[in-house]
Amino acid sequence: MKRNYFIIIFALLISLFIYLFYRTENTVVTDIFISIISHDCFDLLRNRIITAFPLNSYVINSLPEGLWVFCITITSKNLYLKVANKEIYLLFIPLVFSIGLEFFQLLNITNGRFDFWDIVVSIIFWAIANYFIKVHYIKQNIINPITTRSLICIVSYLIVYLAHVWK
């Protein structure tokens, strides 16, 4: 289980790195980072990183979402939400959430640009997390009781807000 948490943290840090230095400055997380270190310092750091580590546009645009889906899928395994005496398993929610966000972008309901490759990458990373990462989590309600694992799952969903683009 600790190995899975290490994988999750590492994947989320890669996503954070890409969001901070390769994506628009108009995300919540970048805005917070700039307020901590100053805009001039951020520009200098960003330019050095981009020069030292050039990334492909597919990596910049699709990998962070794929990694997020990967992480949230691992933490969602064997978790459920009980609604009106019915257990709703959370394993497919990361996939529904990421594909749903893409269609919201297509319909201009939310900020961002629809990208078919984001959907493909999300499906691939969901499948890897679901079929190749073994977990031994017990079946558990995500809310009752709140555990470390359920808290990590909930926080992972809240991380999406940090990637939100201000207009």
Mean pLDDT, consecutive 10-residue stretches, the chain (167 aa), reads 84 93 90 94 97 95 94 93 92 93 90 89 96 89 89 85 65
E strand or H helix that includes residue 69: helix 57-76
Global pTM value: 0.88
What is the pLDDT, as a whole number, of residue 27?
85
SS3 91: coil
CA distance 100 to 83: 21
What is the pLDDT, as a whole number, of residue 166?
56
The residue whose two tokens read 């939400």 is 81
What is the pLDDT, as a whole number, of residue 112?
79
List, edge to edge, every strand of the sheet that includes 86-89. 86-89, 79-83, 140-141
What is the pLDDT, as a whole number, of residue 26?
85
What is the pLDDT, as a whole number, of residue 1?
62
What is the pLDDT, as a whole number, of residue 28?
86
What is the pLDDT, as a whole number, of residue 159?
81
